Amino acid sequence: MVVLLSLSSVMAALGVSQCEVRQATSVSGGDCSESYRIETSERTLFVKLNRPDLKPMFEAEAQALRAIESTHTVRVPRVYLTGGDHAASWIVLEWLNLTPGGEWASAQLGGELARMHRHRSELFGWHADNFIGLSHQPNAATSSWLEFFTDQRLRAQRKLIARRPALCAMLEPLDRLITQMPALLGDHHPEPSLLHGDLWSGNWAAVDDGVAIIYDPASYYGDRETDLAMTRLFGGFSPSFYAAYEIEWPLPVGYQAREPIYQLYHLLNHANLFGDGYVQQAIRMMLKILNGDERR
C-alpha cells in the first residue's frame, strides 16, 4: 500500500493522471532501492523509491547524471524528477532497454570515459557531499589530491568502521596505511577529472542500439585512475575497454602501484555496507599495500 501511494505521488508530481498509467511493474534495480517500470500513454519511466530521509541521495544522483550528460561523452539516463513525501523519496529516469555490452560497446565506453575524464575542475571534490551506495561521501573542495583522498575517502571510512565493533579488525592496518599515505601518494599530482565514482561492471550496459550507457554515479572531481581502479575490482571490464581508454588518454607511470590504494576505498565501503565478507578482503588489500611500501 505504501508503494502504491508513493507511486501515485510520483505520478502526481509529474503531472500524470492515474488514467494515463497503463502498467506499473516491479523490476530489479540495485542493492538499496525499490525500482519500477511505469508505462504511461506518453512515455515509459524508471522509478526508484527509498526511505523519505534519502531524498538527498536521489538529488545527488540526479546532479551527477546531469553533470555527466553535459559533457556530451558517455550516455546516461535522462533525469525527469526527484522528490519525496512522508512515505518515500524517489528519482524518475527515462526507461531504457538495457543489454549486456559487447566488444563494440566496451570499446566505445573506454574512449568516451577517457573523454569524460578530460572535463576538469580547479579543485578536487564536488559542490556538495553525496553518497557511495548508502554511505555518506564527503566532498569538500581542496587543491591537494593527497589530502582529499586521505581525509575524505580513507579517514571518512575509518569513522564509519570505528562505530561498528564487528569491523574493528580493520582499524590497525588502516591507521598504519593512513600514516603512509604521504609516501604512497605524495609524489602523484593528478588533475581533478570528472568521475563516475562507482564504475563497476553492474553500473554500465548497452541500450537497444548498442550504445554504451553508465548509471548510478557517485561523481566528484578526482584522480581519473580511481574510476579505472574500480572497473578492475569486481571482475573487470573487457580488454577492448582498456585498450580504447589507453588510445584516447594513456594512464601515467605508477598507476599499477596506486590501483590497490584506490580499490581499498570501495572495499572499506563494502565492509561498512555489507559486513563480514569484505573485512578480510580489505585487510588483505591493506597488508599488500603496506608490504609493498616497506619493500621500497
Point out which residues pair with 92 in neighbouring strands.
Answer: 47, 81
257-262 contacts at long range (C-beta below 8 A, 24 or more positions apart): 257/292, 258/184, 258/185, 258/188, 258/223, 258/225, 258/229, 259/225, 259/228, 259/229, 259/232, 260/229, 260/285, 260/288, 260/289, 261/149, 261/184, 261/185, 261/289, 262/223, 262/225, 262/226, 262/229, 262/230
Active site residue 216: no
Element (H, E) at 130: strand 130-132
DSSP string, 145-213: HHHHHIIIIIIHHHHHHHT-GGGGGGHHHHHHHHHHHHHHHTT-----EE--S---GGGEEE-TTS-EE
Task: Give the C-alpha separation, 210 to 105, whole Å.
Answer: 6
Q: Which candidate in 31, 53, 198, 227 is catalytic? A: 198
Residue numbers annotated as active site: 198
